[in-house]
Amino acid sequence: MSERRLQILDAAASLIAERGFTSTSVDDVIKGAKLSGKSHFYHYFKSKEELGYEVLNRQFERFAERGLAILREPMIDPLDRLSLFIDAVVALQAETGGRRGSPFGNLAAELADAHEGFRIRIEAVFERWASQIRSLLWEARPQLHDDVDAVRLSRFIIAALEGAVLMTRVKRDLTVLEGIAFDLKRFIAMHVRDGAVQSMRHAGQ
Amino acid sequence: MSERRLQILDAAASLIAERGFTSTSVDDVIKGAKLSGKSHFYHYFKSKEELGYEVLNRQFERFAERGLAILREPMIDPLDRLSLFIDAVVALQAETGGRRGSPFGNLAAELADAHEGFRIRIEAVFERWASQIRSLLWEARPQLHDDVDAVRLSRFIIAALEGAVLMTRVKRDLTVLEGIAFDLKRFIAMHVRDGAVQSMRHAGQ
DNA sequence: TGATTATTGGACCAATCGGTCCTATATTGA
DNA sequence: TCAATATAGGACCGATTGGTCCAATAATCA
C-alpha cells in the first residue's frame, strides 16, 4: 500500500468520522491529504464510493489490531480478556475525548437503508466482531452456565457498546460509556458459574 | 398546527428516516408532501434546519405517546411497565420490518459532531427518556436492591436499545432486537430483590 | 365586502457536488 | 536510457443544493 494512499485514507477517515460520509466531499479529502487536485486523487481511487469502502476496511483493521486482538490473547483467562476488551473500547473512545462515535455505527446509521454496498460491508464487520466474541465464549464455556447463548450474548455486548459510544458522543460525557461498560461487565458476570475460577476480576472498581 | 404543516412534517420524517437529514433535499420533501413548489414549502418553514428541528420534536412526541407513556401507566407494577416498554420498542421496530433505525440514534450519529443545534436537541431527547426511566426506578425502589444506581441503569437501558435497533437494521433481522430485549430484561431482573413481588414477568418467553 | 392566508408556478441565484479530460513535469526503478 | 508511475494544475461538465423573488390566483373568515 503506497504512502500516499494511506495518507488519503487517513485524512478521509478523520473527515468522515467528523462529518459523515455524505457530508465529506472529495475536495475536502484533497485538502485534508494535501493533494494537488482532483486528478491527483482520482489517480489513487476510482470513485468516492471506493474510497469509502477502503476507509471502512482500514478502520476495521485498526479496530482488529487495537481492540479485537485482546480477545485472542492466549495467556489471559478468556473472561478477563473480555473485560480488558471492554476497557479497550472505553480507552479508544477516551482518545477522542468522548467525541466521534464508532466508525461502524456511524456509517451504519447514515447509510444502512440507503446504500446496500455499505450495509453489507458493515454487516460483515459486526459479524466478524461477534464471531470473535463467540469464540471467546466457547473457550470460556467451562466457567459459564450451560444455558449461555453465545450468539445472543455476543450481540448484546456489541449493541450495548455501540449504543454507549453513541450516547457518550451526544452527551459529550465519557462517564456515560464508563458506567455502561461497568454494567456490561456485571451482566457478563451473571453468566459465570458459581465458584468458577476467578473471572471478571476487572469488574470490581 | 395546520394540516399542511403536519403533512410536510410526516413526509420529511419518512424521508429523513430513510436517507438521513443531509441526503434529504427540500425538493424531495416538496415532492413527498405534494406541494406545488419551493414557495409553498418556504411558506411553512423558514429553512431546512428548522424543518429538521420540528421533525425531531414530532418524532419525540410520537415516541412519548406510543412508547414512553407505558412507563407511567398507573395501574401496572413499575417493573412490569418497564418490561412492557421494552416490548413496545420491539413492536415499533417491527412495524418497519426491522428497517429504519431510531430517529434519535440516526440523527445523533449523523449530526452530533457536525451540528451543535441538533446535538443539543438530541441530548435533550435522551435526557427526557432517561428521566422517565429514573422516575420508574424510583417508584420501584422497594423491590430493588439498595445499591441500584438509577442514573447508570437508565442509561444502560437506552444504550442497549439504541444499539440493538441499529444492529437490527444493519442485519435486517428482527430477532437481533428480540434477543437483546430478552437479555436486557434479564439484566434488569438482576437488580430485583429476592422474594420481591413478582416482576419482570414478561421476561419469560 | 375586504383583508388575510394559502396555493400555484416558474425564473433565478451562487455554491457545491462527483467526476472527466488534458497537458506538462518529476520521480522512480529496471 | 526508457517506460511506468506520481505530481501538478486547471478547465470544464451537468446535476443538485438551499434559498429568494415575484406575480397571480384561491380559499377562508371576519
Per-residue model confidence as pLDDT tens digits over B68-112: 999 999 999 999 999 999 999 999 999 998 899 899 999 999 999
- pLDDT value at residue A198: 52
- pLDDT value at residue A194: 86
Q: Which of residues 23-42 of A touch strand D (CB under 7 A)?
A: 35-40
Q: What is the CA radius of gyration of chain A?
A: 19
Q: Which of B60, B167, B200, B205 best probes binding to A when mutated, by most A CB atoms within 10 angstroms?
A: B167
Q: For residue range A112-156, what is the model confidence (pLDDT) as tens digits?
A: 999 999 999 999 999 999 999 999 999 999 999 999 999 999 999
Whether the pLDDT of residue B116 is over 60: the answer is: yes
Protein-contacted positions of strand C (CB under 7 Å): 6-11, 16-23
Q: How far apart are CA A77 and CA A7, in angstroms?
A: 38
| A192 phi, psi to nearest 5 deg | -90, 135
Q: For residue range A23-74, what is the model confidence (pLDDT) as tens digits?
A: 999 999 999 999 999 999 999 999 999 999 999 999 999 999 999 999 999 9
Give the side-chain half-sphere CA count within 13 A for B196. 20
Judge: B162–A161 Cβ closer than 8 Å, yes or no: no
Using pLDDT thresholds of 50, 70 and 90, give the confidence band for residue A202. very low
- pLDDT value at residue B1: 76
Using pLDDT thresholds of 50, 70 and 90, give the confidence band for residue A5. very high
- Mean pLDDT for B143-163 is 98
Using pLDDT thresholds of 50, 70 and 90, give the confidence band for residue A195. confident
- pLDDT value at residue B80: 97
Burial of residue B39 (number of CB atoms within 10 Å: 0-12, 13-18, 19+): exposed
Q: Which residue of B has its CA nearest to A175?
A: B152
CB pairs A-B closer than 8 Å? 160
CB atoms within 10 A of CB A154: 20
| 0.85 exceeded by pTM | yes
Judge: B119–A182 Cβ closer than 8 Å, yes or no: no
Sequence-ordered list of residues with C-beta below 8 angstroms from that of B26, at least 6 positions apart, any chain? B38, B41, B48, B51
Residue A113 corresponds to which cell in the numbers above?
Answer: 437503508
Residue B98 corresponds to which cell in the numbers above?
Answer: 426491522
- pLDDT value at residue B147: 97
As a whole number of angstroms, the longest Cα–Cα distance in chain B is: 65
Q: What is the CA radius of gyration of chain B?
A: 19
- pLDDT value at residue B195: 76
For Cα atoms B100, A162, B108, give the angle at the middle one, nearest 5 degrees: 55
Tallying the residues shown for chain A, one arrives at: 205
AA letter at B50? E
